[in-house]
Amino acid sequence: MAGSLRAMSLNDIAFVVGPLGGVVVVPLAMVVLAVRRHPAWAAWLGALLALTVGISSLAHWFLWGRAFDYADGFQQVPGRLDTALGVTMTVAALGCVGVALTAVTAIVHPRPTR
């Protein structure tokens, strides 16, 4: 039986980039920010964005557990819960992209040595 491929939706992309991708991207970006010489704002921004990814990912997995309980009980997931899942995924994805861009900035534009 042949399977069919379909394009990923925006929710799928936000999930892969945010709660899943953050597990890999954020630690790598923080290592780059810890090792490379960079402007002070980059460290603060990276830490703030990493915290944002962490909190929104934890909130996402908590809400996912709630949605799973509804689905496991053969009940429809409430619209507000589904919306909250989408918001937490999006915030995590945007934070993850922001952390990655901050790390790339630290690599491309290092702080000048004195």
Residue 61 covered by a domain: yes
Residue 3 lies in a domain: no
What is the Cα–Cα distance from 58 to 108, expressed in whole angstroms?
Answer: 31
Question: Range of 18's domain?
Answer: 11-108
The answer to the question of residue 52 being in a domain is yes
Distance, in Å, from the CA atom of 76 to the CA atom of 111, rounded to the nearest integer, reads 53
The domain tally of the chain equals 1
Taking the CA atoms of residue 58, residue 59, residue 65 and residue 67 in that order, the dihedral angle to the nearest 10 degrees is -150
What values do phi and psi take at 76, rounded to 5?
-75, 140
Structural domain contains residue 4: no
Residue-wise pLDDT tens digits, 55-71: 999 999 999 999 999 99
Does 6 fall in a domain? no
Asked if the structure places residue 67 within a domain, the reply is yes
Domain assignment present for 89: yes
Reported confidence tier of residue 3, pLDDT bands at 50, 70, 90: low
Look at residue 113 and tell me if it is in a domain. Answer: no
pLDDT tens track for 16-38: 999 999 999 999 999 999 998 88
